[in-house]
Structure 1
Amino acid sequence: MNLFKEYGLSDDLLKAITELGYTQPTEIQKQTVPYLLSKEEDLIALAQTGTGKTAAFSLPILEMIDPYQKHVQALILCPTRELCLQISKDIASYSKYLSQIRSLAVYGGSNISEQIRGLKNNPQIVIGTPGRVNDMLKRGVLKINQIKWLILDEADEMLSMGFKTELETILKETPKERQTLLFSATMSKQVEAIAKNYMKGAQKISAGGINEVKKNITHKFVMVRDRQKNNGLRRVLDANPNIYSIIFCRTRVETQNVADFLMHQGYAADALHGDLSQSQRDMVMKKFRLKNLRILVATDVAARGLDVNDLTHVIHFSLPDDPEVFIHRSGRTGRAGKDGESIAIIRPSEMVKFNRIKKETSIKVEEMKIPTKEDILKAKEFYLSDKLLNAEFDSEEFELSTVPDLSSISKEELYKRIMFLELKSTWEFYKNEKDIAPIDKNERAAERGRKSSTSRSRKERKDPKDGNNRNRKSKRQGNFTRFFFNLGKRDNLNKVTVIDLINKNTKGARADIGEIDIRDKFTFFEVDANYTDQLLKKINQLSFNGKNMSLEIAQ
């Protein structure tokens, strides 16, 4: 029996979602669907990505929308093009048998003329990113003054990406009597401000708690020396032959380097970062969703809004600065009740940082040893033998032209021969490879000591009384320019926002990013000196949260 029937959904809606396999509502759907069908008050729903949010707000809206009205009745705002397209695709699937319902996705990085033509078909539902929706409002081609529902999906992500001004502009264009639905994984101060200023008497519900660590995700870490990080990663991948994973890196350069290393080693991998054009990004994501790629190497910024199911692993090649980002990364696996693994590959010098992440997120993490060649061969043998014995096989449909006489060979010998052929390349690679020696307590302590010494020397370079000297040192060490930026913690600036700002304003390039030092009222950050003029020209024309940006070379 389809339990969605209890909510009073129409037969056409039920038929569509039953075909999609929707029979048991998720926790967020249990709380949201009946609420929206019976009440007109605003709603704040706290839930992680992958909990079924799209169906939670789409099904009741599709049930209540007037198919004969030729104006936009529901506006859904989301942070990225990928999420916009995913929501649009889901709504099209849910409304498969609702022939009068039309929806349209509007987003940046695509031909705006085609999207404007789409608006002339009078869609009742528009799904869009804040930037493109704002653009269409300014052009006068999108009218939202009669909408009944405004949905802010992943509101915290939209605000952290700097869309506060665009969101406020859009909100002011909507009627006061609308019903506003805010979905967010976190209740940050910015989200609270939006709720306070633009929502009235909102009911608050929570599915699984804010930033709750999923119980079906196993957290592990493996410790390697810095120069062994790539080989350590390779061994982790080889010890998990069924892997379907996102590997997270800090910078675009690191992301591309790791992806290049894996592709050179023969893995079905590719990179996703800010250097890619939209068409390249779409192609990579298409191949990853079809599982033609098994490994996606990505930055946090590039991976925002990606909605991919069935990931077996999330691998943290580099640790994020924000513990919350660590949980967001890990939460991309273990969806829909399936088990998942989160593995961090860290150096001894990063243990202090990793311990802070563990403490602030309350995750339980076990240390795993670096897989040996024996571990890898056993894992691959187990995986292949399981496929050999349990894969679906139709002997009548699949016929061989010649079947040799196997009476002279035992089952055990045949099995060994099959495994030899399948594992030969792995065995040949590792037979002359020395296993990576574990790091003992003394080496860990020595590495932490070197890290502490490096941190002290960095603090000395950051002494405001010695600004000119500090800038010269930074340039000599990595050919960086050190910038002074007029925004800081008081402006809700964080490192992810700074990295995103640099990436957007060095588009088509690979600007290496050095230290980011966010103070209360201002920020210092370092970027490859080749992009000095480009950043100065572009960033000084922008604003953030209503405040004009000012960027100059640190003096």
Structure 2
Amino acid sequence: MTFEELGIDSNILKAINELGYETPMPIQEKVIPVLLQSEHDVIGLAQTGTGKTAAFGIPIIQKTDLSFRHPQSLILCPTRELCLQIADDLIDYSKYQEGLKVLPVYGGSSIESQIRSLKKGVHIIVATPGRLIDLMKRGTVKLDAVRNVVMDEADEMLNMGFTESINAILAAVPQERTTLLFSATMPNEIARIAKTYMHNPQEIVVGNRNESTNNVKHRAYVVHAKDKYLALKRIADYYPNFYGIVFCRTRKETQEVADALIRDGYNADSLHGDLSQQQRDYVMQKFRIRNLQILVATDVAARGLDVDDLSHVVNYGLPDDIETYTHRSGRTGRAGKTGISIAIIHSKERHKLHDIERKINKKFEPGVIPTGKAICEKQLINLIDKIEKVEVNEAEIADLLPVAYRKLDWLSKEDVIKRLISMEFNRMFEYYRDADELDVPIETSERQGKVRGEKGFARLFVNYGKMDGMMPPHFIEIINQYVPKRIDIGRIDILPKISFIEVRESDADLVIRSLNKIKGLERKLVVDRAQPENTHGDNKSRSGQKFASQDRKPRRR
């Protein structure tokens, strides 16, 4: 479906085409026709970043009477940042709607200037509840002509304590109106507001209620509590293009983690309630323009920060309520892109994982903390990619090349590459040379319960482990590449020197034959059926006895 087929006005189509909008996102495809063709109240349940602003904004703009310069639509949102962003988007969509006036109303800015704008006349007000209540008490804002009320991120507004303000605002606008409620989750308080203030609302759901978007992978790393910060650093190092938010539970923890990252050379900063509004705006702007790689934040401080291309969200410990996790994870994997939501937890938090899995209808992938060797290899590949893709300006560097050639003439190509790698990675090599492994070992009882694999699955022994830099994605990639059919893969357990992979019993012999034929590795890959006594990593299976004394590249000391 195209935007034209949704019945959008030609002037608005022209504006959104210039913004690069090509095809409607699911929430837009479902909501826009309903709002344009009827006066239905609507409850829209969708994750942040799924295109909700255009879904309600375009119909509101199109239905505005430009000749009547009084507030006809009211949009409520939880934070000044989101307020400004929605107003900016509406102004962009209405570029060719001559005379349309949109006013953002929020705290932290001059109320006098907002009053002056109201007196001049506006069509659409985008407001935070607190500032709007102030204007209502002063008698400087008239809501008697409002025909559309939108509550965006309604669950966040309730979490921030705006329930009484919302009740007062909704009681002040005309009963004959269209009410639109957009939320990522549907807690009981939202349901109560919908029942009180909405008339037979049509519920439009993108995904399932409270379900996480399919664009987000959920991964959990289990470590000792004392190792959480070290685990965070390794994860950030393993993803050279990491651009994400690390969520902490308290302001104190947020500042401590940010300070530690800055001391260790990471491009990071903190965002929490102890900062002034000016400081928060400064940090947010640095993060938006990617002058920061890592933003360490509390949930409250990060509300309203809208960035579409986050690669990761890290839960530095899980929140107490599942809705908060849903909001955190929804900040990545937006606008059609993919993302990863990571939880760094200790063993006592595992029960929270299961609760979240049931609520979001997704499983957490078991993560393995990267080894120093794996991190260095990943960083090296990233450097090589940058070198391959760098744009060479021949004219600009022509005068400098002869000097460089003369200076490096005595070095071979191999010597230049060695020096380049050493220059870039000596510090990282030194740091990770004797680094300990951080994963919490799987309890003996848990391993014993998995000796023979899940029902219908065979458990295979592999003579490669963490010391070889192996992680679950590596094994999956190897099986996909070398086994001549699609294979269902179950549990993957990676120990220091060996690993175990579960595949369907009917595929086990094919997998063993295919993987044992692989050549060209640092040492021979050996795959065999695991024996019960081998599941603790003691190398006493048939294959373990055969290859226990095989030469292995030693770890650097």
Normalised to the residue count of structure 1, the TM-score between the two structures is 0.76
State the match for 1:269 in structure 2.
Answer: 268
Whichever of the two has the greater Rg, that structure is 2
Aligned residue for 1:150, secondary structure, equals: strand
Alignment of 1:24-423 (within 5 A): 24-396=23-395, 399=398, 401-403=400-402, 404-405=404-405, 409-423=411-425
Letter in 2 for 1:414: V
Shift of 1:252: 0.6
CA distance in 1 between partners of 2:90 and 2:26 (Å): 20
CA distance in 2 between partners of 1:34 and 1:396 (Å): 54
CA distance in 1 between partners of 2:240 and 2:149 (Å): 44
Shift of 1:442: 4.8
Aligned residue for 1:3, secondary structure, equals: coil
The answer on 1:434 being equivalent to 2:435 is yes
Letter in 2 for 1:129: T
CA separation of 1:441 and 1:64: change in aligned 2, threshold 3 A: closer
Shift of 1:409: 4.8
CA separation of 1:117 and 1:26: change in aligned 2, threshold 3 A: same
Q: Is the 8 A contact 1:348 1:444 kept in 2?
A: no
CA distance in 1 between partners of 2:401 and 2:442 (Å): 59
Shift of 1:437: 4.5
Q: After alignment, is 80-89 or 282-291 more displaced? A: 80-89
State the match for 1:553 in structure 2.
Answer: none
CA separation of 1:383 and 1:444: change in aligned 2, threshold 3 A: farther
CA distance in 1 between partners of 2:439 and 2:157 (Å): 42
CA distance in 2 between partners of 1:332 and 1:251 (Å): 19
Shift of 1:397: 5.5
Unaligned runs of 5+ in 2: 447-557
Shift of 1:345: 1.0
Letter in 1 for 2:216: I
Shift of 1:392: 4.3
CA separation of 1:105 and 1:443: change in aligned 2, threshold 3 A: farther
RMSD, aligned CA: 2.1
Q: Is the 8 A contact 1:324 1:361 kept in 2?
A: no
CA distance in 1 between partners of 2:43 and 2:354 (Å): 33
Letter in 1 for 2:121: N
Shift of 1:272: 1.0
Provide the aligned length of Structure 1 versus Structure 2: 443
Letter in 1 for 2:357: K
Shift of 1:353: 2.8
Letter in 1 for 2:441: D
CA distance in 1 between partners of 2:236 and 2:209 (Å): 31
Shift of 1:8: 3.2
Aligned residue for 2:273, secondary structure, equals: coil
Unaligned runs of 5+ in 1: 446-555
The CA deviation string for residues 15-59 of structure 1, in whole angstroms up to 9 with x for no partner, is: 221121111100010011111111112111111111100001111
Q: Is the 8 A contact 1:152 1:181 kept in 2?
A: yes
Aligned residue for 1:151, secondary structure, equals: strand
CA distance in 1 between partners of 2:441 and 2:426 (Å): 33
Shift of 1:309: 1.0
CA separation of 1:11 and 1:409: change in aligned 2, threshold 3 A: farther
State the match for 1:514 in structure 2.
Answer: none
CA separation of 1:411 and 1:119: change in aligned 2, threshold 3 A: farther
Q: Percent identity?
A: 49
State the match for 2:480 in structure 1.
Answer: none
Q: Is the 8 A contact 2:220 2:365 kept in 1?
A: yes
CA distance in 2 between partners of 1:400 and 1:136 (Å): 65
Letter in 1 for 2:432: Y
Aligned residue for 1:343, secondary structure, equals: strand
CA distance in 2 between partners of 1:443 and 1:290 (Å): 48
